[in-house]
Amino acid sequence: MLAVLGVVAAPRVARAQCVDEALKQQLVGERAYRGVVPRKFQKALRHELSAMGGWYAGDISDGAPIYGGAYTFHFTEDLGLEAGYMRSRERFALLNAIIARQQGLVGLVRAEDNPVQFFTGNLVWSLAYGKVRWMGGAIGRYDFFLALGGGATVEPGDIGLTGSGGFGMKFYLTQWLALRLDVRDLVHEQKRVALGVEKIVNDITATGGLSVFIPFTN
């Protein structure tokens, strides 16, 4: 009788152990921390080429379109080194309108529209990353980053040192393509001898564009 009872009880014990193991795995999975999940999009040791365009808001000049590009090498998932180039024009439409309206009664000379170029190098730090759901559809990944560095501003007959800083976001569309949004503050000395202006200015740029990552897979 003891042998019969042992044979009958053994399958029940085995089934109970299987149920307990399955329940344990489910509970462990539900309590797993998000921080240990590998990133779906990885930047470490990859090259990033960006084409951007947007708006340039000068400190003492009018706003104007701006365009350019950047190359970034990502040392790790958090740190990268960026080299950028942007080009725009400095316009003084308001000042020229005042001069034209006063018909020479104001002692100012007409300001010329000059091209301006920015060459910058920045250290890029990915401060945070996360996920976003697009219109109730697929879930995408994004990064929020800070940039700090410097470079040079090139204007007709003048080259000056420039400080650069700002922030931005990158939304990863595929393993090799991303949507990029940037806001930068370019601090440099601006000289306009004809206008009697020589001061430190804060020029703001707001740009958007696309980035291509090489290699094309994580």
> pLDDT at residue 71 above 70?
yes
Question: Has residue 37 been placed in a domain?
Answer: no
Do 147 and 119 fall into the same domain? yes
Do 28 and 116 fall into the same domain? no
**Predicted pLDDT of residue 4:** 58
Question: Has residue 157 been placed in a domain?
Answer: yes
Question: Has residue 168 been placed in a domain?
Answer: yes
In angstroms, the CA 75 to CA 82 distance is 11
80, 45, 58, 62: which is closest to 180 by C-alpha? Answer: 80
**Predicted pLDDT of residue 108:** 52
Mean pLDDT of the chain: 81
Helix and strand numbers (H, E) in the chain are: 2, 8
In angstroms, the CA 200 to CA 140 distance is 41
Mean pLDDT of 57-70: 89
Q: Return the minimum-mean-pLDDT range out of 161-165, 189-193, 197-201.
A: 189-193
Question: Has residue 72 been placed in a domain?
Answer: yes
Question: Has residue 117 been placed in a domain?
Answer: yes
Where in the sequence is the domain holding 27, given as residue range(s)?
Answer: 1-32
In angstroms, the CA 91 to CA 47 distance is 35
Do 62 and 25 fall into the same domain? no
**Predicted pLDDT of residue 62:** 81
Do 46 and 20 fall into the same domain? no
CA distances from 82 to 75, 150, 168 (A): 11, 11, 13
Do 28 and 123 fall into the same domain? no
173 vs 35, higher pLDDT: 173
**Predicted pLDDT of residue 127:** 92
Do 66 and 103 fall into the same domain? yes
Torsions phi, psi for 38 (to 5 deg): -60, 145
**Predicted pLDDT of residue 15:** 56
Do 70 and 12 fall into the same domain? no
Q: Return the minimum-mean-pLDDT range out of 22-36, 45-59, 109-123, 129-143.
A: 22-36
CA 14 centroid distance within chain: 55
Do 100 and 193 fall into the same domain? yes
Do 123 and 197 fall into the same domain? yes
**Per the structure, how many domains does the chain have?**
2
180 vs 133, higher pLDDT: 180
**Predicted pLDDT of residue 212:** 97
The H or E element containing residue 28 is: helix 2-30
Do 15 and 121 fall into the same domain? no
Do 146 and 51 fall into the same domain? yes
3-state secondary structure of 16: helix
CB 100 within 8 A of CB 109: no
**Predicted pLDDT of residue 156:** 78
Do 208 and 125 fall into the same domain? yes
Question: Has residue 129 been placed in a domain?
Answer: yes
> pLDDT at residue 5 above 80?
no
CATH code at position 94: 2.40.160.20
pLDDT digits (tens, 9 = 90+) for 132-163: 887 777 788 899 999 999 999 998 777 889 99
182, 121, 183, 123: which is closest to 152 by C-alpha? Answer: 121
